[in-house]
Amino acid sequence: MSVDPLDARILELFAAEPRVGVLEASRRLGVARGTVQARLDRLQRDGVVRGWGPDIDTTAIGYPVTAFATLQIEQGSGHTTVAAALARIPEVLEVHTITGAEDLWCRIVARSNADLQRVIDQVVIVRGIQRASTVIALAEQIPHRVLPLVEAATKN
């Protein structure tokens, strides 16, 4: 699936103002309402747009500590089984299978450094995890973003 410059403009507008509405978006972009709706439907159907939910600031809901953990799992444990167990820990926000000495990478949040220890303790008791290494994020320099990538994709 490729995106064109109009797709990029639509995505940029809805990323900045998710509640803008299709009619207002068509007015601002200077295209027909049906065009905007059809593009949004296609982008969602093709998996480019994964959701329309709010972007939640974890600090604002009481979880100001962010940490990243790499996990080594026992051979034969299976990534899927371990990831399913990690998904039951609310403070584990993301889990990715990775290459290298470790097997999984996790983004974790906590209420404090002491609370982070509680979360890490929950993580390391998951059956199949052999070893964990954790680092605490001091500051977010670049928040999660994809719009520059969308813009770059329109040029290929």
Per-residue pLDDT tens over the stretch 10-66: 999 999 898 999 999 999 999 999 999 999 999 999 999 998 888 899 999 999 999
Residue 12 DSSP SS3: helix
Task: Domain 5-54: give its CATH architecture.
Answer: Orthogonal Bundle (1.10)
List the chain domain ranges.
Answer: 5-54, 58-137
pLDDT on residue 2 = 82
Task: Domain 58-137: give its CATH architecture.
Answer: 2-Layer Sandwich (3.30)
Please give the Cα distance from 116 to 40 (Å, whole number): 39
Q: How many CB atoms lie within 10 A of CB 109?
A: 21
Residue 58: closest CA among 105, 115, 19, 134: 115
Per-residue pLDDT tens over the stretch 55-106: 899 999 999 999 999 999 998 878 999 999 999 999 999 999 999 999 999 9
Question: Is the pTM for the entire model greater than 0.95?
Answer: no
Rg (CA), the chain: 20
Tokens 């996990």 locate to 71
